[in-house]
Chain A
Amino acid sequence: MNNESIGVLEEMVLLIVMRENEINGAEVLRQYVDLLNRTISLPAIVSVLKRLEQKGFLTSTLGAATSERGGKRKRLYQATAEGVAIARTIQANRNALWSGI
């Protein structure tokens, strides 16, 4: 088991990535805004993605450039096995806690 801890925002972003097969930063932000009804700045999202990647919960590949992106390539993120595992662990811990209430 990976010993890295994970924060609430990191957990949210990780879950959003897990919902999709492949996703880039801009789409994470859209989903975050749509699902949670909160605003956040893009650099904040990207820095969380980078952090998760460094902790080994995400991997990324460079995608294609589109005109919508002004000719810039996108980076696509995927959850790793460790990422999925830690999300499940957190959920299991939560369920255990809830069942006692």
Chain B
Amino acid sequence: MTKFPKWASLYMSLFCDSEIQEELEGDILSNYHWRIENNQRVSARLHFLRDVLFSTRFMFSRNSSAASLQLLLSTFTIYWRNIKRNKVAFLLNIFGLFIGVFCFLAIYSFHEFENSYDRQYTKADQIFRIEKVEYDLEEKRVTGTSYLLPEFVANQIAEVSNMTGVINMRYDRANLQYPKGNPWHRLTLTLAKPNFFEVFDFEFLEGSPDDALTDTNRIVITESTRRKLFKENDAYGKVLYVNEKPYEVSGVILFPENTHFEFDFIINYEVMFSTDFWDKEKLATDWHYADFIFHYAQIPHGKEKEVIESINRLYAKHKHEDKPEADFQLHSVSDIHLDESTDWELSENGNAYFVQMMMILALIVIVLVAVNYSFINIAQTSNRIKELGLRNILGSTNTNLLSIIVIENIISISFASVVAALAILWLPDNLPLQLPITIHPEMLLTLKSTWILLGLILLLSLLASIFPMLLIQSLQPILALKGRIASRFGHFSLLKSLVTVQVMISLGLIISMIIFHRQISFLMDKDPGFAVQHIGYLERYDRGDNRPSYEAFKEELLQIPGINSVTSSAQIPLRWPAGNNYELILKGEEEGVLCSRAWIDYDYFETLEITMQEGRDYSKQMTSDTNAIIIGASAAKQLGLDDPLGKTVKIFFRGGAIVEEKTIIGVVEDFNYRTFHSQIMPHYYMLAPNGPVITINFADIHNQQVHEQIQTLWPSYSPNEAYNFTYMENHYEKQYQSDLAQRNAIFILAGVVLLLASLGIFGISSFVAKKATKAVSIRKVLGARVSELYIQQAKQYVIISVISFLLCMVPVYLIAFNWLQGYAYRIVINPMYFVTGLAIVILIIVAVVTGNILKIATLNPVNTLKDE
């Protein structure tokens, strides 16, 4: 480094007294060389940086010339006067900044939260989930691994230091009760290997992790469960009942929101395997048996590959010949939340695509905020052009003027940013806003976030200073004193292109929003094949021996006028088990169809209003119906059956566990038991009376009298459970909640971007109008009417909008097209969506600029033209 670097010089000219600058620069450089000669390269650089940074101490030093200090002080005074004079412009400015920074921080906190999943464990970076990837019938399936994996791994793979297992029971909630006789709480359970807390070291509020799950009658509950069951009291050592079986509380844990686990309490998983349901011998020997356990292993860095190779070798040795090939993979626990879900994922995964998209939009918003702020600033600076010219004449250098602008920007931007940050911290607790993304203020209280906020303020200040800087560069004092801006700046092609980019982004967002909205409405309005609007359901899980029978309850319900029919099933109609795990094979054939299965009771199709295509429903009169099966239309089609009635099919469980033979007695129309995100999968129904979910078909579901009658019946049929009626319509809409949230997020951001763009265009149009004052006045003198002048001036904004439209059309179309491919049922992109978007944007822009144009068009030419 032979010369003093330019950036440092610029920095010092801004913040350091010019009298000292030369001497200081020389000294700093010579010391740098001295340190280099002493072989302290790093330290030389660090000292150099520190010395340059600390040169700010001469900004207000007593030695600095009185004039420059005076200038600084007067900057503040004039800044304050300007605010008072242009209250509206100032407020608009601050408001735009506030909205932009607020959006950015909200999205940033959401982004940070989504990325903070499963990082809180002591050795989070060493914990991996072992997953089995199977290619079965050309379909990729990612599942858990079998019960005996930990034992094998412990014996044969030395690299793994700790391994635990978890069984997902998310869909089967259990009833918790304390003390006996109190009402039940339906809570989510997870079953785990006893050493679960050695790997995942959640904080224990009561009890200790060492003996938490040592016994099958021990239970660990979360703090929120403790509050539900024990209120203010401690839970440790007390006995509570899970589905009427006693368990002793051995620990209370603090359960953070940002983990991929989802449970209210944990029990030792041996409970499950101690029942007769599981074949003990197979559990201990068969690598394919019960392969739904998620195993987590602690693996030191660099050993991952060896571990996976060893497991693959073990599996190859123990694999049955008729089973499909499988590979094992390690999944870092911190990545699980934002990755694609496996079958039977432990909780709802995050949507990485959405999180990224939001973050990109947040960055766009921030850049737009800065540019817009700059636009409004220009309009204001041009108002102050006389002041700047006078300063220049009185001896202010351009640097001085620049530092005035920069300081003003820093003050405004810091103010707006700090207010936005405080609003983010304050808002979630005090205003129950329904935002499409959750704001996590706690994520902003980290060191990293503080730096980001500071960096943001600095970046914004710099970006916002660019245009005023250019303006000052081109300042010509003589012209400025006459109130004119040098013509060099007058072409403002840079401004025009920035306005175009801005309109392009808002237009793109608006069109995307329209397409997004259309698609979601299309999905939600699509006929799901059953009577969503007419039905609701009750859940009755009391499995005690002496519970009153469902049959009697059904009879009583049917007595109530306004109830059409009643049925029961094993699952809520929209919550069938995930995965198509059953294979239907026609007798005598080899290949079959993979299906989902539902256990249903009599009158199911009548209650759900699903149309019978052929054959008949289950009937109480036919005792042979226990061996009968009803299949969906798509299953019949895929089996290639023209006349399915009376045919016999064999049913295999995937993996070969169950083999049954059933006779087809009916074919029903397909019914969408999930969402329209994916194709309706083949499915079939089997008879299993007295299921826990009771579905009711109403003549008028909103008739409160009927509901009151059901509610009075409820306690005598289900004494332990609270009344829990759910409208099917609500449940149905809930499935599209994340889609709606995404739509709303884009909607809000499009609104914010449009608002910012309007603010910016307002600023720029008042600047442009002011420059055109004389031209307009001359035209007026020559006989132009106000309407003509208006059209002539407004035209340029419409042209900008159309250019933006042409530019954004193709990318938006491609993005939307790609996005729609993710839906099995999708809309066709209609050109009208684009035209509507353009119309909205043109309307808004014209509305924004009208005031500024009319202001100059209606001026009396005598006044504007007299001073030349």
**Which A residues form the contact surface with B (CB < 8 A)?**
24-26, 29-30, 41-44, 46-47, 50-51, 54, 65-75
Contact = CB atoms under 8 A, between A and B. Distances in A.
A50 B4 CA distance: 22
A65 B2 CA distance: 13
Most chain-B CB neighbours within 10 Å: which of A43, A54, A72? A43
Given A42-B31, A68-B30, A69-B30, A74 B58 contact: no
Nearest to A41: B54
Contact of B27 (A25, A65, A67): A25
A25 B61 contact: no
Given A47-B61, A71-B3, A42 B24 contact: yes
Given A30-B34, A43-B51, A68 B20 contact: no
Contacts of B455: none
B826 interface: no
A67 B22 CA distance: 14
A78 to B, nearest CB: 15
B34 A26 contact: yes
Given A41-B51, A43-B51, A50-B20, A72 B25 contact: yes
A24 B24 CA distance: 10
User: Main secondary structure on chain A at its contact with chain B?
Assistant: helix
A70 B4 contact: yes
User: Main secondary structure on chain B at its contact with chain A?
Assistant: helix
B55 to A, nearest CB: 5
11 contacts: A41-B50, A41-B54, A43-B57, A51-B63, A68-B29, A68-B30, A69-B25, A70-B29, A72-B22, A73-B23, A73-B26
Contacts, number: 85
Contacts of A67: 2
Contacts of B30: 24, 26, 66, 68-69, 74
A47 B23 contact: no
B650 interface: no
A46 B20 contact: yes
Given A26-B31, A70-B4, 12 more contacts: A24-B30, A25-B24, A41-B47, A41-B50, A41-B51, A42-B24, A43-B54, A43-B57, A46-B24, A70-B2, A74-B26, A74-B27
B674 interface: no
Interface residues of B, number: 27
A65 B31 contact: no
Contacts of B34: 26, 30
Most chain-B CB neighbours within 10 Å: which of A25, A54, A74? A25
Contacts of B27: 24-26, 29, 42, 46, 69, 74
B31 A29 contact: yes
7 closest Cβ contacts across the A-B interface?
A72-B26, A69-B26, A26-B27, A25-B27, A42-B51, A43-B54, A26-B30
Contact of A44 (B2, B25, B54, B62): B54
Contact of A73 (B22, B28, B51, B54): B22
Contacts of A44: 54, 57
A66 B3 CA distance: 11
A32 B566 CA distance: 93
Contacts of B731: none
Given A29-B31, A30-B34, A65 B61 contact: no
A4 B220 CA distance: 73
Contacts of A50: 20, 61, 63
B54 A54 contact: no
B33 interface: yes
Contacts of A54: 62-63
